[in-house]
């Protein structure tokens, strides 16, 4: 039996991770769970999985949680609680499924304490890829992707040599506005943007999918996950989302990973690697029903998120932290109907152009940049 901690257990990935654990016949013991402030759902999860410790974001929620708690579970709070859980509680694996940069420090502490990592939080590698990969090598822990695209590439690389890779090919659905041009995007609503054609995701990542910024983040992640230069990472639009990504080798062969659009498939592979498990709720791919696969180049002139991410990655240093912070702030403004869709690109680009890049940022640098950029954008646009 392996001990597991799930950071972000009440979010989409966290809930689906617990679904997977229900199919693993007690192969895992849940040591810790963390939630933003969803007390109701966290209580239900505690009743079922009986963790030793939980973390809530706000201290005021702790009293409410304790008053309703029927078992002896320790309750921590805030960012320090997340770090304490990552550092002090024994576990074989930490699933990082927190929102935004809040996942960075728990990941660092989990690695330093010798825990293997299954990563779903993009911002960890987007903001601090070199720092994290250096820690992974120093502490010699496993580091596996949960994102369907990176999990697909990980599977396509099995049994092959890195020097034989020609390129990694990340697939993208194209989001809800595939094929549309700038004139159309000027007036799109929040409600239209949140109607993803294939995936049921959180609001922020759904907007990022529409701007292609999410795919740009995945390019940055792929560089750090697989130690491949940006020039060897391509993106192709694949509207059906059946092929989750591919690897092309120097002999011209391409290996692809295919499955239905169900995040429980990459989750089970990441947390149970190298074994695979059957999940009864997952639908298997039926080629009679899914008999058309199409591909097209991304429209990077219209959907500039991908271009901005490549630019940040090639600049390196602290620029990817700026990219991430500016995008998060801009998406929040858009979701609150303070700016229009195309303003997201404008805000990100302006902040990247103004930033004095730090070639080798520390963790403190990255966290400070994140706060400064978000505060500046909030001040500029919320007046």
Q: Per residue in 86-134, pLDDT tens?
A: 999 999 999 999 999 999 999 999 999 999 999 999 999 999 999 999 9
Give the distance from CA 83 to its chain's centroid.
Answer: 19
Give the domain ranges of the chain.
Answer: 2-145, 150-260+284-315
Return the percentage of the chain with pLDDT > 90, whole number: 92
Question: What is the pLDDT of the chain when averaged over all its residues?
Answer: 96
% of residues, the chain, pLDDT over 70 = 100
Distance set, CA 311 to CA 68, 281, 304, 348 (Å): 50, 40, 11, 12
Strand partners for 76 = 55
Is residue 356 very low, low, confident or very high in pLDDT (cuts 50, 70, 90)?
very high
For the segment 273-297, the average pLDDT, to the nearest whole number, is 94
What confidence score (pLDDT) does residue 199 get?
Answer: 77
pLDDT confidence band for 70 (50 / 70 / 90) = confident
Mean pLDDT of 144-167: 97
How many helices (H) and strands (E) the chain has is answered by: 16, 11
Q: What are φ and ψ of residue 221, in 5° steps?
A: -60, -45
Alpha-carbon span 218 to 55, nearest angstrom: 28
Name the DSSP class of 121. -
Q: Which whole number is the average pLDDT over 145-150?
A: 97
Q: What share of the chain is helix, strand, coil (3-state, %, to 5)?
A: 50, 15, 35
pLDDT at 383: 66
Q: Provide the pLDDT confidence category of residue 201 given band limits of 50, 70 and 90.
A: confident
2-34 pLDDT, tens digit each: 999 999 999 999 999 999 999 887 899 999 999
* Class at the top of the CATH hierarchy for domain 2-145: alpha beta
Q: Which residues contact 368 (CB under 8 A, 6 or more apart)?
A: none
Question: Is the pTM higher than 0.85?
Answer: yes
DSSP 248-299: EETTS-EEEEE--S-THHHHHHHHHTT-----TTSPPP-TTTS-----B---
Cα 26 off chain centre by:
27
Q: Which tens digits make up the pLDDT trace of 291-316? A: 999 999 999 999 999 999 999 999 99
User: What integer pLDDT is reported at residue 291 of this predicted model?
Assistant: 93
Res. 170 pLDDT band, cuts 50 70 90: very high
Residue carrying structure tokens 């990941």: 107
Helix (H, G, I), strand (E, B) or coil at 24: coil
Instruction: Give 311's contacts (C-beta < 8 A, 6+ positions apart).
Output: 319, 352
pLDDT class of 200 with cuts at 50, 70, 90: confident
Give 360's pLDDT tier (boundaries 50, 70, 90): very high
Kindly state the tokens that stand for 331.
């998406």
């Amino acid at each position: 039996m392996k001990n597991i901690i799930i950071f972000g257990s009440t979010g989409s990935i966290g809930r689906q991770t617990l679904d997977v654990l229900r199919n693993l016949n007690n192969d895992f013991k849940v040591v810790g769970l963390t939630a933003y402030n969803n007390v109701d759902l966290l209580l239900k999860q505690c009743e079922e999985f009986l963790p030793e410790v939980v973390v809530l974001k706000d201290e005021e929620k702790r009293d409410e949680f304790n008053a309703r708690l029927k078992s002896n579970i320790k309750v921590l709070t805030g960012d320090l609680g997340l770090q304490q859980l990552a550092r002090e509680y024994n576990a074989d694996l930490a699933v990082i499924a927190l929102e935004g940069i809040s996942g960075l420090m728990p990941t660092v502490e989990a690695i330093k304490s010798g825990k293997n990592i299954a990563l779903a939080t993009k911002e960890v590698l987007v903001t601090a890829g070199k720092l994290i990969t250096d820690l992974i090598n120093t502490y010699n822990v496993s580091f596996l992707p949960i994102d369907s695209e990176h999990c697909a590439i990980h599977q396509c690389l099995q049994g092959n040599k890195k020097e034989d890779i020609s390129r990694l090919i990340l697939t993208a659905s194209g989001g809800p506005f595939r094929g549309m041009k700038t004139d159309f995007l000027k007036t799109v609503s929040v409600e239209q943007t949140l109607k993803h054609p294939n995936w049921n995701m959180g609001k922020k990542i759904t907007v990022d999918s529409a701007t292609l910024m999410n795919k740009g983040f995945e390019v940055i992640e792929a560089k750090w996950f697989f130690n491949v230069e940006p020039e060897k990472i391509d993106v192709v639009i694949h509207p059906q989302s059946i092929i989750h990504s591919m690897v092309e080798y120097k002999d011209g062969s391409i290996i692809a990973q295919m499955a239905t659009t169900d995040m429980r498939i990459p989750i089970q592979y990441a947390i149970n690697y190298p074994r695979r498990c059957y999940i009864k709720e997952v639908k298997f791919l039926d080629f009679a029903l899914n008999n058309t696969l199409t591909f097209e180049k991304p429209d990077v002139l219209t959907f500039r998120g991908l271009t901005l991410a490549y630019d940040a990655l090639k600049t390196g240093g602290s620029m990817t932290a700026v990219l991430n912070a500016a995008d998060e702030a801009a998406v929040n403004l858009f979701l609150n109907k303070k700016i229009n869709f195309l303003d997201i690109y404008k805000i990100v680009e302006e902040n990247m152009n103004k930033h004095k890049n730090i070639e080798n940022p520390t963790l403190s640098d990255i966290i400070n940049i994140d706060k400064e950029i978000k505060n500046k954008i909030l001040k500029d646009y919320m007046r």
